[in-house]
Each structure stands twice: as C-alpha cells, then as structure tokens.
Amino acid sequence: MPRVVSVVFSQGGKLYYFDPGDVELVAGDPVIVSTARGTDFGRVVRAAEELPVGEAGQHLKKVVRRATESDLEQLVANEAVEDDAMAACRELVARLGLDLKPVVADATFDGNKVVVSFFAEERVDFRELVSQLSDRLGRRVELRQVTARDEARLVGGYGQCGRRLCCTLFAGGQEPVSIRMAKDQNLPLNPSKISGSCGRLMCCLKYEHGVYVSFKERSPKRGAVVTTPEGQGRVIEFRVPSDSVAVDLGEGRVVICKLSELGDDEGET
C-alpha cells in the first residue's frame, strides 16, 4: 500500500494525497509540493499513513521539501501581489460594469499567475476583464466562478453558534447538504434557523447527521416503556448529543439515562 500525507492548499479546502518520500512530516507542517501547475505551498493535515491503492490514487505527486524560511518569505511577497490583484479587479469590474463580486485572489507559488475567484448569480463574459487585469498586473490571470458556499469558505467568518464557519475549520470536499438532514434532526424548517452565512443550509447539519441517524436506529420511541437503573418509566424526551433519553418514572420523577443503561423496549402508547 502506498504511503501518503494529506495536504490542503486553503482553509477548509479539499484534501490531496502526496508521496512524502524520505521527508518526515507531522500535521501542521508547511510543505512545498509538486502539482500539475508547478510547485505549490500547502499544509499537512494528516501525517504519513498507508492507504489502499484505489483510495490513494495513481501517479502520486511528491512532497519536494518542508517549507523553508525563504519559502515563507515568498508567500509574504505573494500576498502583496494578491492584494494588488484584488484592488485592480474591483476597479476594473466597476469600470466595465460587470455583475460579479471578486472574492479572493490566489497567486501561484512562483508568482507568475494569479487566480481570482468571483461570485455571480449568472454566467458572466469576463474576457475583457481578464485581458485588462493581466496587462495591469504583468502576470497571467485566470478567473474562476465560485458558489455562495465556496465564497463563505474563502472569506471566512463566524456562524450563529459563535464559532468559526465549519467550512473553514474542516478540510475536505464540500459535499451537498439536504433538507432531509434537517428533518432527521427534528429541526424547524425555518430558513433563518438552518441557513448559514452563505445563505445555504448549514454545514453542521451534514457533520451531525450521522449521529442522529444512529441514535434513531438504537433508541426506543417516544412514549415507549423502558427499564432504567431506577425503575420502569416512559421515554419523554430525546437528548441526542449525549446519547441519552429523559424517562418519566411517575410521581414527578424524571431521570436522564444513556441508551446503554436502558432495558428492553416494552411497547409504546
């Protein structure tokens, strides 16, 4: 089985596998890797591990080296290029009257090319923008249209919970989130309650969905008679995050029990 390290190129971005060769790496290490567009800077999120050939993919690119001080200085220089690109892009978008919003500029590690991500509701003819922007920057320019969810991930921010957006915290692909996930979690189907900063369904619905499905498969139904360490009672409430239920024992007594502490379901009302 091939030995690989998992690398991301942006916060919350997709995982890519690389051959570490003789370079010893741990999670968090900055690295220079070989990619289809040349050398690039990334960050290790999972140390070396062995994966089946089918899962790791074929013809793995190599980790060139752990990033050096010189490499980090190059990143700082690239940030200046990216700032210039965003300022120029905003100015040209306004001048050309284009209905799009520049989101972020990303310079390749060698600084020869700048990729500008933008959000737009419809398809936009941006050929003139690319031409003028390339002339202004003296570099090759590529424009890439992104979704509202991608825009939130690239810009970052905080959700209703007060924590950083899930899409910026967890590396991986942006799998779709469905309304079925909200229903399975018994959430109110109110857009303002279950939508994130991007205006789409919150990513946490996807991350927590498996827990709710598993709980539903293992738990007694509401109203079922169960045996607890303190006697028999009826299930009156589910507490999914703690894998437990509230059980009414009668005479005003309610206990919280883990599913593992319950006896057999004896029926329901």
Which amino acid would we find at residue 46? R
**E strands present in 51-173:** 63-66, 101-107, 113-119, 140-146
Give residue limits of the domains in the chain. Answer: 3-66, 72-149, 175-218, 220-261
The C-alpha atoms of residue 103 and residue 173 are separated, in whole angstroms, by 19
The encoded tokens of residue 142 equal 């590529």
Place of tokens 């567009």: 37
Is the per-residue pLDDT at 145 higher than 60?
Answer: yes
Angle at 226 between CA 218 and CA 215, to 5 degrees: 20
pLDDT per residue over 150-188, tens digit each?
888 888 888 888 888 888 877 666 678 899 999 999 888
> How far out from the chain centre does Cα 35 lie?
22
**E strands present in the chain:** 3-8, 16-18, 30-35, 38-50, 63-66, 101-107, 113-119, 140-146, 225-228, 231-239, 244-250, 253-258
Give the pLDDT score at 268: 44
**Nearest Cα to 109, choosing from 77, 64, 83, 135?**
77
Place of tokens 């020869």: 112
Q: What percent of the chain has pLDDT over 90?
A: 59
Longest CA–CA separation in the chain, Å: 80
pLDDT per residue over 202-231, tens digit each?
888 888 899 999 999 999 999 999 999 999
Average pLDDT of the chain? 89
Q: What is the CATH number of domain 72-149?
A: 3.30.300
Give the pLDDT score at 267: 46
Give the pLDDT score at 128: 95
pTM of the model: 0.71
Kindly indicate the confidence band of residue 83, based on its pLDDT and cuts at 50, 70 and 90: very high
